[in-house]
Amino acid sequence: MKKTFGFAVALILLMAAGIVGWGAWLNYSDENQIASRMNNRAVEVTAVRAARRELAPTIPLDAVRFSSDNMTDAVALTEGTILRWQVGKNKAVHEGDILAEMMNESIPLKIQQAESAISRAEAALAQAYNSYQRQERLLARRATSKEKYEAAEAQYLAAQSSLREAQVQRDQCLVQQGYLSVKAPLDGEVLIIYQREGAHVQAGTPVALVGDFSYLKFSLNMADVNARHLQEGEASFLRFPERTMMAKAYDTDYGAGNKERGLEIKAVLKEIVPPLSEPADLRRTVWEVDNRTGILEPMTYNGVSMRMGHNHEALAVPLSAMVDKSRDKVFVVDENNIIHERTINTGVADDKYVEILGGLAEGEVVIIGNLDGLEDGMKADVEIGGAD
């Protein structure tokens, strides 16, 4: 009986051990199969090869500040009260045109006083001249002393000096009277009227702003690697958002005729500083815009993009290959179809492609499109797309 019981217990233990072993083997087998499937799993991706192509670079500009070389204040050159404006705001004027008339009641009085002083000086001069002439005749006949002659001569010279002084005083008053007409300092348009009729102003007070916006300038700081694609005299094209074009700094008629969405304006490169012949990491480029149509004002415009008017050949990949907005990383696929994240150096870009300055070689496979979830070491099932 005991032998039979012991045998049964041993059999049960053996069966239990077998079941445990079988379960462990199945678990091990399943893990191996899962690992094998994971190792053999491939992420389906679309890719292109880095290749040389023609780029028409487009540069986004956060802010562009336009300025005019021909814009200055018309200044009151003497004290006075503004009587009337001869021209209104936004009116075209030429240098020297009268903008406003002023009044200073003391100036006519000073002119009258100066005229009276001249009359007295002329009478004194005539009297001194007659005395001098008489003394000269008497001295010739030896009928007077040399001392009296010299005294008459000195009185005559002093009378001449007094007359000249009175005339200078009158001329100064006449100049001040001329200053009562405020004149345009240059050809242009009246942009701002600072002082209204009836306002009393001191000498040196700005009364109006006059400017010529026919040609405007702006400058951009560019890395040397990008500036070297440029040449003085070449053109680019500025694109302005519609909402930006409606903004005005001087409340002028400028921009009133611009109703076109996505307008492009031509800009010409005038200067590169320092010149390309000198080594520099950063260069300032100066551009000029022909604004005779009166669309722009000297102010800052936001959201502008600049499209270069020339193409240049460069190693490039699609913008869709960039991992993020910094444009310094891409995913590449090696010869074993393994994905690697790569740090790169990019240059200018157009609407589709970005220039590769370093980190990629021509012909390398770069993933484009949906990059979410990609990591180093993943295996890829690659579909090479066309370069359109």
Does residue 21 belong to any structural domain of this protein?
no
Does residue 207 belong to any structural domain of this protein?
no
- For residue 31, the model assigns a pLDDT of 54
| Statement to judge: residues 367 and 318 lie in one domain | yes
| Statement to judge: residues 317 and 298 lie in one domain | no
CATH code for the domain in which residue 219 is found: 2.40.30.170
CATH code for the domain in which residue 187 is found: 1.10.287.470
84-104 pLDDT, tens digit per residue, is 999 998 899 999 999 999 999
Average of per-residue pLDDT across 360-381? 89
Place of tokens 């270069």: 308
Say how many C-beta atoms besides its own lie within 10 A of residue 376's C-beta: 10
Say how many C-beta atoms besides its own lie within 10 A of residue 157's C-beta: 13
Do the bridges between strand 188-193 and strand 215-223 make them parallel or antiparallel, or are there none, so unpaired?
Answer: unpaired
| Statement to judge: residues 178 and 238 lie in one domain | no
| Statement to judge: residues 66 and 50 lie in one domain | no
- Comparison of pLDDT for 322 and 24, the residue scoring more: 322
| Statement to judge: residues 221 and 253 lie in one domain | yes
Asked which of 265-269, 306-310, 336-340 is least confident by mean pLDDT, the reply is: 306-310
Does residue 66 belong to any structural domain of this protein?
yes
| Statement to judge: residues 290 and 363 lie in one domain | no
Q: Over 80: is that where the pLDDT of 114 sits?
A: yes
**Hey, what amino acid is at 279?**
P
Q: Which domain holds residue 319?
A: 43-55+313-384
Q: Total structural domains in the chain?
A: 3
227-259 pLDDT, tens digit per residue, is 888 889 999 999 887 665 556 667 666 554 444
CATH code for the domain in which residue 331 is found: 2.40.420.20
Q: Is the distance from CB of 337 to CB of 381 less than 8 angstroms?
A: yes
pLDDT band at 33 (very low <50, low <70, confident <90, very high): very low
| Statement to judge: residues 102 and 195 lie in one domain | yes
Does residue 9 belong to any structural domain of this protein?
no
Does residue 254 belong to any structural domain of this protein?
yes
* Burial group, residue 357, by CB count within 10 angstroms (0-12, 13-18, 19+): middle
| Statement to judge: residues 186 and 94 lie in one domain | yes
Q: Over 80: is that where the pLDDT of 164 sits?
A: yes
| Statement to judge: residues 285 and 243 lie in one domain | yes
Does residue 13 belong to any structural domain of this protein?
no
185-212 pLDDT, tens digit per residue, is 999 999 999 999 999 999 999 999 999 9
pLDDT band at 5 (very low <50, low <70, confident <90, very high): low
- For residue 7, the model assigns a pLDDT of 57
Cα Dmax for the chain: 189
| Statement to judge: residues 63 and 82 lie in one domain | no
| Statement to judge: residues 301 and 318 lie in one domain | no
311, 341, 376 - which closes a domain: 311
